[in-house]
Amino acid sequence: MTDADKSTDNTTLLASLGRLAPQLKPIFAPLIWGLLSALAASVVALLIPQVYRVLVNSALQPGNGTKGLWTGAAVVLGLGILEAGLIALRRQFVIVPATTVETRMRTSFYRHLQSLAVEFHDRWGSGQLLSRAMSDLNFMRRWMAFGAIMLVVTALTVVIGVALMLSMSWELGLIFVAAAVPIVVFGYRFRRSYGLVSRRSQDQAGDLATAVEESVHGIRVLKAFGRGREALDSFAGQAQELQATEIHKAKSLAVFSLVVTLLPELALGAGLVVGILLVSQARLDVGALVAFFATAAVVAGPVESMGPLMAMTLAAKTAVDRHFEVMDAPNTITDPAEPVRLGPVRGDLEFRGVHFHYPDTPAGTPELLNGIDLVLRAGETMALVGVTGSGKSTLLNLVPRLFDATAGAVLLDGTDIRRLALADLRRHVSVAFEDTTLFSNSVRGNVLLGAAEHPGLSPDEILEQALEVAQAGFAYALPNGVDTLIGEEGLSLSGGQRQRIALARAIAARPAVLVLDDPLSALDVNTEERVSDGLRAALVGTTTLIVAHRPSTVAMADRVALLQDGHITAVGTHSELLAGNDHYRYVLASLSEEPKDLDSDLDTDTENELADELGAAPRGTGPLDVVHRGATA
């Protein structure tokens, strides 16, 4: 699944949980109050039997008045109410602060994720992130509000109980304490093994969420190929792995619980025999023996609950580790320490010696972008042409800093874009990608998303203009017009419709630099032509870098840059390149100059037919249609 680097955590329990300390600091007081309430509730519960003792010894002698009884019952009632009140109070103290911490951690987790670079998100599945944002933090809150407090209360109860037992009979007490030694040793091993499984199970649960997410996002493909069965099998396989891990985890806990309950009980068994022998030798009185075992009975409950509480604590550690693993991921694309503020942006865009390779590219492979030098004059429209996979989209991604160049620089008006504040840069630069993401919002909301202030225009007019240029007038005919909810939670639009809305969004932003990644790919020819015309008019004064696969898109550009083997190998007008550059002709026209695919000689027929057809085409009337290279010789 996701190869998110799940570093096997070597951090110790305390170090991990210690990372929570800054989060807990503001709620430290209520947590202590909660702890005290829990302790007080236990003490009150222990007090009630004392009242019985007093009553039995004094008031409840036949013939006595009822006053003492009334008082006694009232005290018992009062203590009972107090106990219930203290239990309620513990929750009151702890719940709200704990959920506040949880929510704060959740929202900062989300903020951090949003700030992390695209490169991070490429590696991590959303499901895996979701499980960290939801179940891990839920678990952490429950541990804070319940587990941690009960662990302290339980431990204290055991310690006090054992101290009492030692004071009653040191021999018997020592036997009981002796049992603690193997428990500690075993507990250490348990901590390691359980920590590992709990980590594995939480990771697997996250991967399972990713699998669900993919199965839903890829539903069309699965349906189109009828691969529901295979998807189910692979999901079931993953779910079974999780099941096996969970059962392994439960077994590990079961063994620990077995040891934790068995050893003290064995010690008590030994204690019983020894105690009876001691009494028979008159080295101990019966009362002390009875009291010893009565106390042991009180201690038994807490000892038993140590197992689950330890397990909960270890799982909380895992949750903390998983949380901070993401929180510690460095943001590779950040605002500069002292951002430069550009005045009015002209829109000069320059790539200077830009190199780029994806972070996990193995050494030795040539860089995807290997020294790009390209200058776009302010207001100019430049088409970027290259074969599939030549790095055109990657180059575009560098402009709004979705990725950073690994060497060299991108400059806006002569300033390295890394010296600008990200928000400023992305205000100056607007994009429309080929795979269009619309947000769950109205058409209006989507288009006006990053819209700049347009002096003298109301938002409705901006919207209208943008939709007009993008030929997205269909939006007015949607059920609720431009207020129709679209995006994932709304009406589903066709590919071409989505593209036009996304284009309108980029236009409405009125950026200084517009970056378009094959924005017309899903449009039919007529619409494309109208959009191109509109764009040409709207883009006057906007520096535009546009990835083009078709001559029709190139026609919008003032100049064309050819991307080949990681370099810009030619820049010129369409007609210049068409006339003088073989590779350009290969990419954009129907001429073939590069070595063909091995078996492409099989389809020379088609090739020729295509060429014939193109050769027979009537001359276009477009401004760039100067040189028309016809059929193969």
Partner 1 sequence: MSARSRRAPAPASNINAAPPQGTAGEDRVELSRQDSKAVRRRSVQLLGMLLRPVRLRFAITVALVVLSQAAKVAGPLLIAFGIDTALPALKDQGANPVPLIVTGGGYVVAALLASWLTAAYLTATARLSQAMLLDLRIQVFRHTQRLSMEFHESYTSGRIISRQTSDLEALRELLDSGISSLASGLIFMALTAVSIFSLDWITGLLVMASAVPMFFLSRWYQKRSQSAYRSSRVVSARLIVHFIETMTGIRAVKAFRREADNAATYDELAEDYRRVTVRSINLNGIFQPGLVLIGNVAVAVVLLVGGFRVLGGALEVGALLALLLATKRFFQPVGQMAMFYNSFQSAQAALEKVSGLLEEVPTVQPPRNPVPLPVAHGDIRFTGAEFGYGNGPVVLPRMDLHIPAGQTVAVVGATGAGKSTLAKLLARFYDVTAGSLKLDGVELRELSTADLRRAVVMVTQEAFLFSGTVAENIALGNPAASRSAIESAAREVGADTFIRALPDGYDTDVNKRGGRVSAGQRQLISFARAFLANPAVLILDEATSSLDIPSERLVQGGLHRLLGASGATGVAGTSGGDGRGQGGPGRTALIIAHRLSTVAIADRVLVVHDGRIVEDGTPAELISGGGRFADLHGAWQDSLV
Positions in 512-531 near partner 1 (CB under 8 A)? 517-518, 521-529
Contact call for residues 392 and 564 (beta carbons, < 8 A): no
Residue 227 DSSP label: -
Please give the single-letter amino acid code of residue 332: T
Q: Is 478 in the site for partner 1 (CB under 8 A)?
A: no
What is 309-321 written as a DSSP string?
A: HHHHHHHHHHHHH
Q: Does residue 440 belong to the site contacting partner 1 (CB under 8 A)? A: yes
The residue count for binding partner 1 (CB under 8 A) is: 207
Rounded CA gap, 617 and 629, in Å? 11
Among 183, 300, 311, 333, which Cα is nearest to 254's?
Answer: 311
Which tokens sit at 12? Answer: 């110790």
Q: Which residues sit opposite 335 in a β-bridge? A: none
Stretch that binds partner 1, among 12-20, 339-347, 376-384, 586-594 (CB under 8 A): 586-594
Q: Within 377-396, which residues bind partner 1 (CB under 8 A)?
A: 386-389, 392-393
Least distance (Å) from partner 1 to the CB of residue 15?
27
Q: Give the residue carrying structure tokens 């004094």.
A: 58
Q: Applying CB under 8 A, does 589 fall inside the site for partner 1?
A: yes
Per CB under 8 A, does 106 bind partner 1?
yes
43 binds partner 1 (CB under 8 A): no
Which residue is it, tokens 């795979």? 435
* 277 is an interface residue for partner 1 by CB under 8 A: yes
Rounded to 10°, the helix 67-115/28-57 angle is 160
Binding part of the chain for partner 1, among 75-83, 156-164, 167-175, 454-462 by CB under 8 A, reads 75-83
Closer CB to partner 1, 11 or 239, in the complex: 239
Among 406, 439, 468, 536, binds partner 1 (CB under 8 A): 439
Looking at 10-18, 133-141, 163-171, 411-419, which segment touches partner 1 (CB under 8 A)?
133-141
> What is the separation of C-alpha 615 from the centre of its chain, rounded to a whole number of angstroms?
53
The single residue among 188, 330, 456, 599 that binds partner 1, judged by CB under 8 A, is 599
Q: Which amino acid is at 441?
A: N
Q: What is the DSSP string of 181-203?
A: HHHHHHHHHHHHHHHHHHHHHHH
DSSP assignment, residue 408? E
- 233-252: which residues touch partner 1 (CB under 8 A)? 235-236, 239-240, 243, 246-247, 249-251
Q: Tell me the residue type at 525.
A: V
Asked if 567 and 372 touch (Cβ cutoff 8 Å), the reply is: yes
- Residue 127 as a binder of partner 1 (CB under 8 A): the answer is yes
In the complex, what is the shortest distance from the CB of residue 199 to partner 1, in angstroms, rounded to a whole number? 17
CB 416 → partner 1: shortest distance, Å?
19
The 284-313 site mask, x for binding partner 1 (CB under 8 A), equals: --x--xx--x---x------x---------
Residue placing its CB nearer to partner 1 in the complex, 354 or 368: 368
Single residue of 330, 456, 618, 623 touching partner 1 by CB under 8 A: 618
| C-alpha to C-alpha distance for 451 and 241, rounded to whole angstroms | 48
- Residue 347: name the closest of 541, 560, 561 by CA: 541
Q: Determine contact, residues 611/631, Cβ cutoff 8 Å.
A: yes
Distances (CA, A) of 579 to 551, 553, 583, 586, 611: 14, 18, 11, 12, 17
Q: Is 340 in the site for partner 1 (CB under 8 A)?
A: no
Question: To the nearest whole angstrom, how small is the minimum distance from the Cβ of residue 80 to partner 1?
Answer: 3
In angstroms, give the least distance from the CB of 628 to partner 1: 7
Q: Is 185 one of the binding residues for partner 1 (CB under 8 A)?
A: no
Are the CB atoms for 75 and 190 separated by under 8 Å? no
Region 538-557 residues binding partner 1, contact defined as CB under 8 A: 549-552, 555
What phi and psi values does residue 579 have, to the nearest 5 degrees?
Answer: -75, -40
CB nearer to partner 1: pick between 174 and 579? 579
Token digits for 398? 């560098």
Which residues from 199-238 bind partner 1, rule CB under 8 A?
Answer: 205, 208-210, 212-228, 230-232, 235-236
What is the spatial distance between Cα 582 and Cα 595, in angstroms, rounded to a whole number?
Answer: 12
Distance separating alpha carbons of residues 584 and 564, to the nearest angstrom: 9
Shortest approach of partner 1 to residue 240 CB, angstroms? 7
Structure tokens at 178: 């002796």
Residues shown for the chain: 633
Closest CA to 394 of 439, 334, 354: 354
* Residue of 339, 371, 450, 572 that binds partner 1 (CB under 8 A): 450
Q: Which of 18, 80, 353, 459 is close enough to bind partner 1 by CB under 8 A?
A: 80
Closest CA to 419 of 410, 428, 408: 410
Which of 170, 225 has the CB closer to partner 1?
225
Closest distance to partner 1 from the beta carbon of 283 (Å) = 13
Report if residue 316 touches partner 1, rule: CB under 8 A: no
Stretch that binds partner 1, among 30-38, 91-99, 148-156, 370-378 (CB under 8 A): 91-99
Query: What is the closest distance, in whole angstroms, from the C-beta atom of residue 473 to partner 1 in the complex?
Result: 12
Q: Is residue 416 a contact point for partner 1 (CB under 8 A)?
A: no
Supply the minimum distance, in Å, between the C-beta of residue 58 and partner 1: 11
Q: Residue 566 — φ and ψ, nearest 5°? A: 80, 5
Q: Which of 43, 266, 340, 407 binds partner 1 (CB under 8 A)?
A: 266
Please tell me whether residue 329 binds partner 1 under the rule CB under 8 A.
no
In angstroms, the first-to-last Cα distance of the chain is 51
Please identify which residue in 38, 124, 349, 562 interacts with partner 1, judged by CB under 8 A.
124
Which of these segments, 19-27, 29-37, 159-167, 275-283, binds partner 1 (CB under 8 A)? Answer: 275-283
Should residue 175 be labelled a site residue for partner 1 when binding is judged by CB under 8 A? no
- Residue 302 near residue 384, CB atoms below 8 Å: no
